[in-house]
Structure 1
């Protein structure tokens, strides 16, 4: 029997041992190569695009010979104004991509000996970079659509006669959210969070190309999609897949997301659920790549993303 890829040596191309043994300079050069791959890691001015720059080696900064602007490898990116050393930042990203079901911020803070606030914000910035990877993607070919509810647990009353039917909307907490996933077979996974699953109809029309074959279950609120796409419906009371139609890939995504939230993060607020869904989708899409490739892909995406408006100065705003 062939060995699973994730159990092979080819899946292990980056380790904490290697990161910290190579040191700060090697981690810094790695960030430079991923920020400016078109120039073999040599700096390019982000303001004017000039390649003629001065290297201010004592400060790890550069100065453009054309516009005289000073910048660093993380200027204008999600990592802007970072305080962590590059070797610690690379170690954090290694831990982050190694965790198939995610890693919680307390564990990350202990592994790196940083504050919980530092780990929490860093991980959300990385999730923002993951989401940006599929921000403008439109799916085609064969696409599966499904929804699943998360959060909003209502604790039952102690006495049996005081308990209510928690399935009724009137007895819910109002914190329940539904993640709708669109998953292209052999392609990418995109997600969005709604109050009700039926709101995912417009999301599907927005993100799925015309003439796409869409597989969905028999829930009535997917019926309007039949006017836009070639629909394949599956009655799950009869089977998981009927006549070649199934939503198994969408269910695979939800399996990872449920284990990520239930097994690692334990509780996720509704306002953050989109970020965790994007994280799970990214892991699903890159599941057959080595951890070194995952780290490089995530760093490259983060360095190509602008300064985070949601997470820059997050704790200072909260404290105000």
Structure 2
């Protein structure tokens, strides 16, 4: 029996201990290499010109020869105006990468020895970089689509006589939300070329109010190419997809896999990891940040066959490529996100 990829030594190329032991110069050089390819030719975040700027060695900063703007390695990125050492941010990303089912802000605050609010903002900045950099191109080929609910039921009363029927819509939790997932499968040709290209190829997630026909039709039209093969369950919300797509159904009340081989397993495997992060790690997801959590799991699923150092470099690159002008700018001054990202 072949060894599972994650048990292979080639999959374990990142050591958090090694990252934690980086010196100031090593951490600085590593970020320069990822962002600009070195310390010689840098790009001014203000005017965008790549050149050999004046380097202020005492402050680890550059001064642009064109616009005279002074900038650092994190200027214009999601870590702009940072207060922690660079090693701390790299170590936080390494912990984030190796926690395959997610990491809570409480655990991150203990590992980094920082306040909870610092760890919460830092972990969400990493999630925001994954959100900004995701590609929303139309999916094609075989697509598995499904939805799951979070915060579905209110906490029952202590006394049985005071409990209500939680199946009724009137007694449902007002914070109840759904996450719709679409997953494209690798084609047989791609799998033949690379044995690691199996299962899901690309995952898109959308926080919605409910799994209904209008929302499903709207999202499918926007993000799935016409005439694609769609696998869905028996939910009536997917009935109208048969007009534009090759729709196949599996009735989960009777079976997980139909006699014709129809399954919805790619979507179910996503929900498996999502619920493990929900119940086993973070324990609580605010609806305001539900899209960040859902997209984080989508990213982890899409990169599950990559070694962890490659994922580490990719996430660090995404953080350096994400503009400082985002929803987490001014978090310490109380500028918190107030509105949910919902697809209506």
Correspondence list, 1:219-238, <5 A: 219-238=235-254
Going from structure 1 to structure 2, the CA distance change for 1:169 and 1:297 (only over 3 Å counts) comes to same
Structure 1 runs, 4 residues or longer, greater than 6 Å off: none
SS at match of 2:278: helix
Shift of 1:133: 3.0
TM (normalized to structure 2)?
0.88
For residues 51-86 of structure 1, the C-alpha deviation after alignment (integer angstroms, 9 at most, x for no partner) is 131111111111111222221221111111111211
For residues 179-209 of structure 1, the C-alpha deviation after alignment (integer angstroms, 9 at most, x for no partner) is 0001111321010111101123311211112
Going from structure 1 to structure 2, the CA distance change for 1:28 and 1:194 (only over 3 Å counts) comes to same
User: Partner residue of 1:131?
Assistant: 131
User: Aligned partners of 1:315, 1:166: CA distance in 2, in Å?
Assistant: 39
User: Partner residue of 2:4?
Assistant: 4
For residues 202-230 of structure 1, the C-alpha deviation after alignment (integer angstroms, 9 at most, x for no partner) is 11211112221111111111112111211
Alignment: residue pair count: 318
Asked if 1:192 corresponds to 2:209, the answer is no
Aligned match for 1:286, one of 284, 298, 303: 303
Unaligned residue ranges in structure 2 (runs of 5+): 187-200, 337-344
Shift of 1:318: 5.7
SS at match of 1:19: helix
User: Aligned partners of 1:138, 1:129: CA distance in 2, in Å?
Assistant: 21
SS at match of 2:183: strand
User: Partner residue of 1:14?
Assistant: 14
User: Partner residue of 1:58?
Assistant: 58
Shift of 1:44: 1.7
Asked if 1:257 corresponds to 2:274, the answer is yes
User: Partner residue of 2:191?
Assistant: none
User: Partner residue of 1:178?
Assistant: 178
User: Partner residue of 2:340?
Assistant: none
User: Aligned partners of 1:34, 1:41: CA distance in 2, in Å?
Assistant: 13
TM (normalized to structure 1)?
0.94
Correspondence list, 1:1-320, <5 A: 1-37=1-37, 42-46=41-45, 47-186=47-186, 187-198=201-212, 199-242=215-258, 243-317=260-334
Unaligned residue ranges in structure 1 (runs of 5+): none
Q: Is the 8 A contact 2:29 2:39 kept in 1?
A: no
User: Aligned partners of 1:50, 1:41: CA distance in 2, in Å?
Assistant: 10
Q: Is the 8 A contact 1:130 1:301 kept in 2?
A: yes
